[in-house]
Homo-oligomer: A and B are copies of this chain.
């Protein structure tokens, strides 16, 4: 075998990862790539050396099925009998934890030579992580499928790499949960945080307190059998399941069946609005703790994970302030604020959780002086809060920047680091930053669109959690994300399929025409804008069908980058402006002409009408874009009024409206318009410097965007 010089591929070295051709995500800690191939064909038998068990063998069978699905090759399924030749050898030292455990060794090594691949790990979970890498390495050339020759040593940067799904505000069926667990495993994440109770719904069967689900869920809850099934499914994939029961606030749904838990007399109803509500558990009654003892005991037995999430966020304290008995209790105990009373409540709940052998997880608000050191704080309040928890010796999880409902681009999540390079924490303190969790809050999630809210953006966060800190090349991240996104759908997620399906349903036709164009280039406004607009008009509630255009289109659509690339190529080609001229012309013509077709669709499907003014803007943007191309191409500077008019149009198109549709490539479009400013004098200019300035000016004019609360 011809061995070319080894390409050093240490992920941390600037510039090197962009040069890579592999599409592995998260990027391994270290990779060396050599020239050559290991063929993938019908001879690809798999042998196990060392430890084996049912979980490992099931994981290998899944690997084989996925390889088959990706290549069409019939593989010898299962484990090759010992003594027969095998192309892939899996050598696992020991079983590891049967139920995956915080801090378990997930490292693995993968060595691929021209005739053999060997995957070795300390634990079964480590081998599973390596199998995901192997699968992502499959490549093709005219001779068929193959693996590149690599030497990989890999392990995660953080031990806690999670996704929270809020099933309280909108219920998500078991199959939705399972396919997203498959997604987690595919990008080496290891925690599924199941936000099971909310003001808007109590989503799990309690046999001890059946009115919780019977009266608090509208019939939409998981049976304990389903929960056990999900836990086993996740464990099989090396994913922990952590239940969250948010308390003492966010508990309206509990109180429908058990009003005595509340700090004010009932009756209570399931909330259908969004926001923060008054109903709060009464922390002064012993019966509250008796109830919680029974409930937590039941749930602690159901969920094997050593951690138990008690929420603890957003208690507005109103019921406590309004209840004379509670006020009296506070005076008697010397509590001056409701926060202090909540500390008391947390302490009591903590004792219960500990009694059942669990450690506690909670949102920032649980961090009070008496919190035991084995607690984990999930931070949604920012770095100050996160670092405070870590410096106090608590496990700390970064979630502030990872709220998917703010609809930030993948790059935003990607670049937010739980432990940034400029962190002021000492090494010891930093060791308490255990990872991060992406949060899928449920106000606007349906089983139809949830996947496209979670994926592929969560894969970018997965790389942040797993790969070395220095892996930060955004372009390379997107290159790999585009591939991983497709593979995730093979594993069961529907994030790439859902939009067209929803657009067909909304429009009643499979011939999407202008709606298909709009869907491809628009993205949903974030939850902040949505709530703001809703407050102005019809308030949004749990009852509103999530079938509007804004529910269908995807956050951070690839078109944002594609359009940026087209504009970049055009401006790079100054002063000729030939590159991408034709494609931009076609694009703008398409926009300019989409009005009549869209109007016809909106007539038949009135649900589309709220996008009419956005479409009108798009038509105008198309016309102006064609004019801009003309000015640039002909080297004629347009009148200042023309440019001012277009910038006003841009500003209008950036203003949120009833469609809740955003045009996320507007920065690039603005650059195109700005570029016309001095195009007449461009012949004698340094066009590189000119372009730099245009881009700078466009960035300066871009309205500030915020992807957290």
Determine the chain B residues whose CB is within 8 A of the CB of A490 once the complex forms.
505
Q: Could you say which of A135-143, A392-400, A635-643 contacts chain B?
A: A135-143
Q: Does A94 contact B (CB under 8 A)?
A: no
Q: Is the CB of A486 within 8 A of B500?
A: no
Q: Among B140, B482, B604, point to the contact of A140 (Cβ < 8 A).
A: B604
A603 at the interface (CB under 8 A from B): yes
Q: A23 — nearest CB in chain B belongs to which residue? A: B508
Question: Which residue in chain B gives the minimum CB-CB distance to A538?
Answer: B74
A545 B483 Cβ-Cβ under 8 A: no
> Is the beta-carbon distance between A543 and B74 smaller than 8 angstroms?
yes
Partner of A71, one of B74, B497, B511, B607: B607
Which residues from B are CB-within-8-Å of A607? 71-72, 140
Report how far A501 CA is from B72 CA in the complex, Å: 15
Q: Given known contacts A141-B603, A144-B606, A604-B140, is B509 in contact with A482 (CB within 8 Å)?
A: yes
CA distance A490 to B508 in the complex (A): 10
Q: Is A69 an interface residue (CB 8 A)?
A: yes
Looking across the interface, which residue of chain B has its beta carbon closest to that of A145? B606
Residues on B with beta carbons closer than 8 Å to the beta carbon of A501: 489, 494, 496-497
Q: What is the bound-complex CA distance between A70 and B607, given in angstroms?
A: 9
Q: Is the CB of B508 within 8 A of A74?
A: no
Which of the residues B175, B496, B505, B548 comes within 8 Å of A489, measured between beta carbons?
B505
Minimum CB–CB distance for A502 against chain B, Å: 9
Interface residue A564 (Cβ < 8 Å from any Cβ of B): no
Is A73 in the interface zone, CB < 8 Å from B? yes
Interface 1/0s, chain A 125-163, versus B by CB < 8 A? 000000000000001111111000000000000000000
Closest CB in chain B relative to A476 CB, distance in Å: 17
In the complex, residue of chain B having the shortest beta-carbon distance to the beta carbon of A141: B603
One digit per residue, 1 when the CB lies within 8 angstroms of any chain B CB and 0 when it does not, for chain A 494-521 equals 1011001100111011110000000000
User: Are B142 and A505 closer than 8 Å at their CB atoms?
Assistant: no
Give bound CA distance, A267 to B558, whole Å: 56
Cα–Cα, bound, A242→B68 (Å): 34
A605 within 8 Å of B (CB atoms): yes
Whether, in the assembled complex, A544 has its beta carbon less than 8 Å from a beta carbon of chain B, the answer is yes
- Distance in angstroms from A21 CB to nearest chain B CB is 11
Q: Is the CB of A504 within 8 A of B483?
A: no
Tell me if A547 is interfacial: C-beta within 8 Å of chain B: yes
A508 contact from B483, B508, B509, B510, Cβ within 8 A:
B483
B69 and A510 contacting across the interface, CB-CB below 8 Å? no
Name which residue of chain B comes closest to A503, CB basis. Answer: B486
**In this assembly, does A32 line the interface, its C-beta being within 8 Å of a C-beta of chain B?**
no
B-facing mask of A529-563, CB < 8 A → 1, else 0? 00000000000010111011000000000100000
A140-B605, A486-B504, A511-B558 given; name 19 further pairs at CB < 8 Å: A68-B547, A69-B545, A71-B545, A71-B606, A72-B544, A73-B545, A140-B604, A140-B607, A142-B603, A482-B509, A486-B505, A486-B508, A487-B505, A489-B501, A489-B504, A494-B497, A496-B500, A496-B504, A496-B510
Interface residue ranges, A against B (CB under 8 Å): 68-74, 77, 139-145, 175, 482-483, 485-487, 489-490, 494, 496-497, 500-501, 504-506, 508-511, 541, 543-545, 547-548, 558, 603-607, 609
26 cross-chain CB contacts under 8 A: A69-B505, A69-B545, A70-B508, A71-B606, A72-B506, A72-B547, A72-B607, A74-B541, A74-B545, A77-B543, A139-B604, A140-B604, A140-B605, A141-B606, A142-B603, A142-B606, A145-B606, A483-B509, A485-B510, A486-B504, A486-B508, A486-B510, A487-B505, A489-B504, A489-B505, A496-B510
